[in-house]
Structure 1
């Protein structure tokens, strides 16, 4: 039987809700430009809703994220030439992977989730710092073979899709890296294509979480509006200004969140 939302309805202040909405807007913006908005939004939900079960935090995060990702996907397809067929092929595989990942997410407990998120944040931080050109320079083009397409479907589709349904943060960044590395896309094209795939993973995960009753809709609804606005603005900025500035912002945000989650884990 799906859980009822009433059993986990959080009593949050207006200040906390406004903080979550601001985080959702920033996450939508970052996710649209370079990926990784979930690295801000999910930890913000964990900080703002510390007593809510992890599955409900993950489900609420998906209900919010799908709005900004969809807005960014539409903006990219209108303004940048993308291989929609390729994106949808990988996206369908990712949808299946996210359905499976979300199914297993209900078994995650907070004692495991927080250190896991910290590990992902640290890995992304190290990668970004060691690769100063990430998100700034374009990848070198090369012929794309059928084997590479199949690899992209398995890795970016099933693999990252499963991860997105199970946990989620960093999915956009991982998709950009996979598409650029496997299919030799430049980063703007990879970012746009990743939004199409990410919409599919969010749909798959959200269906599972909603069926289980693990979405706090009263929190997700206002956050989704801010996330949508951030995603639309971020997509336009990605096409006009590049990702150099956002890369710096992402580093600052990741460091701050690592500090906050570390404090909550070992001191608070």
Structure 2
């Protein structure tokens, strides 16, 4: 299936993908911009094709960010891979059920996720600014992270997706007591695994618009690489204001499309 879209729409989608890659690399949650952009830009496409195309794009930026973090951020790769493998299984299951999602349900669900993230960011002014002291990960906390950040958030990522990076950062920082940069880097490795699992399922179902995903992926990859380097150099506090503005704008747009358009 290949939708007929204008050059202007494609350019806007590519710019959104680049911005999403940048936001996702720094603080997580790039899907909060990219998935709604696809919903708005491709209003007549089935939800499964929107979700599949989103995954094909997102995996590029997430991989670029993961490589950048792995090279410079202090991370426990063994723990990250264990959580990532659980997330891979969770995302495969989530993507399998995603094919049955109705578009009338998808938009409200995304708005709920957006509002939840917005509330958290506004109620926690130190999110993305201050960091918690690092602590050795105990077996119990690692198992909890595998269950929550791996299976739980992995399933959500395969099913819907937006906000996964942010949720992973929050879960990893809260459960494993990681500082923000380490949590962001670890989240990228886990997110690569969830994207792989979901993308495999969507590809098998033929639910990826590769003609649109390819140019968007180039922008997303560039945004992810730039964002990771900025996060490592400057921290992620400067993105907080941008994230709030983006989330508010998207909630308003999706609400208008759902009930007022």
Question: Displacement, 1:252?
Answer: 0.3
Look up the SS of the partner of 1:195 in the other structure.
helix
1:263 is the counterpart of 2:229: no
1:76-115 equivalence runs, <5 A: 76-115=69-108
Q: Give the structure 1 partner of residue 165 of structure 2.
A: 172
Q: Tell me, which stretches of 5 or more residues in structure 1 are unaligned? A: 1-5
Q: TM-score, normalised by structure 1?
A: 0.96
2:235 is the alignment partner of 1:242: yes
The residue aligned with 2:50 is 57
Map of 2:192 onto structure 1 = 199
Q: RMSD of aligned C-alpha atoms?
A: 0.7
Alignment map for 1:154-169 (pairs within 5 Å): 154-169=147-162
Gaps of 5+ in 2: none
Q: Post-superposition shift, 1:80?
A: 1.4
Instruction: Give 1:188's aligned residue.
Output: 181
Over residues 79-108 of structure 1, what are the superposed CA-to-partner deviations in whole Å (9 max), with x where a residue is unaligned?
Answer: 112111110000000000000000000000
Match of 1:41 in 2: 34
**What per-residue deviation string (whole Å, max 9, x for no partner) do you get for residues 34-85 of structure 1?**
0000000000000000000000000000000000000000000111121111
Distance in 1, matches of 2:137 and 2:78, equals 14
- Whole-angstrom CA distance in 1 between matches of 2:90 and 2:140: 20
* SS of alignment partner, residue 117 of structure 1: helix
Q: Following superposition, which runs of at least 4 residues in structure 1 exceed 2 angstroms of deviation?
A: 140-144
For residue 3 of structure 1, what is the aligned residue in structure 2?
A: none
How far 1:143 moved relative to its partner? 4.1
Aligned residues: 261
What do residues 102-160 of structure 1 show as CA deviations (whole Å, max 9, x unaligned)?
00000001000000000000110010000000011001334432111100000000000
